[in-house]
Amino acid sequence: MPARATDARRAAVLGSPIAHSLSPVLHRAAYAELGLTDWSYDRFEVDESGLPGFLDGLGPEWAGLSLTMPLKRAVIPLLDTISDTAAAVEAVNTVVLTEDGRRTGDNTDIPGIVAALREHGIEQVGSAAILGAGATASSALAALARVCTGEVVAYVRGETRAAEMRGWGERLGVEVRTAPWSDAARALAAPLVIATTPAGTTDALATAVPERPATLFDVLYDPWPTALAARWSMAGGAVVSGLDLLVHQAVLQVEQMTGRAPAPLGAMRRAGEKALADR
């Protein structure tokens, strides 16, 4: 049941490490814009071992939680239900809490990726490339299942990761071919390149950006721009940033937790940009 603006409700982001999280900035900006003056949003350092106890200690004033690593999979056994979207990648980044104590899990990263691409004019592509094979890569694959009509090539380190990506492709209905990381420069010719690797990993690829690059979606946002994103922009290519993803997935979280829609995308983005500029 949607909370009234006068209801004192709580939400937070959990993870480890968590001090860097921009989620409080984004959610608080949304509350201010929506007039939810009695709502609060905090961050808590919580690891896998501490998660059950944290959840059990929550009172009826709690409306929802955002989850980051390493909790996205660990939370699943602790929930009453999860959405089909979350089940598809075995990862929950959003928990909605009801006053009767029920816990419902969802994954807003996947529709967040789709929304961020759509905002930049990408409705459909014939093929795509993914750099990396971690948890974000599986969400990227799930998003590509909605926007890519052809093959996705995943550039990864090691056969174990390659097999995992092919397995995710089969599960998500995406045609996935894997290639070694040593060939990653070839990815940059794809109509859509999604970089899901940690900071610094793709820096060496900046010199391989083609003369006329298409679209790069780099999931990082701090530090920004990455070397690859900067070179991509200089060459005239379109760049979707990690902040785009962060804001779009947070919009969906705010709507689910507060029952208020649409969430104020513009105000949330401005708050995120300011927070990054101040760092």
Strands 152-156 and 176-180: parallel
Strand-pairing partners, residue 94, are 66, 106
CA distances from 47 to 51, 59, 67, 78 (A): 6, 20, 11, 14
Strand order in the sheet with 9-15: 39-45, 9-15, 62-67, 94-97, 103-106, 81-82
Q: What angle do CA 41, 47, 50 make, to 5 degrees?
A: 90
CA–CA dist 246, 20 (Å, integer): 13
Catalytic option among 72, 161, 260, 269: 72
**E strand spans, 29-187:** 39-45, 62-67, 81-82, 94-97, 103-106, 128-131, 152-156, 176-180
Helices first, then strands: H and E counts in the chain: 9, 12
In the residue annotation, 274 being an active-site residue is answered as no
What's phi and psi for 195, nearest 5 deg? -95, 120
Copy the structure tokens of residue 274: 């300011």
DSSP output for 204-248: GGGGG--SS--EEEE---SS-S-HHHHHHHHTT-EEE-HHHHHHH
List, by residue number, the catalytic residues.
Answer: 72
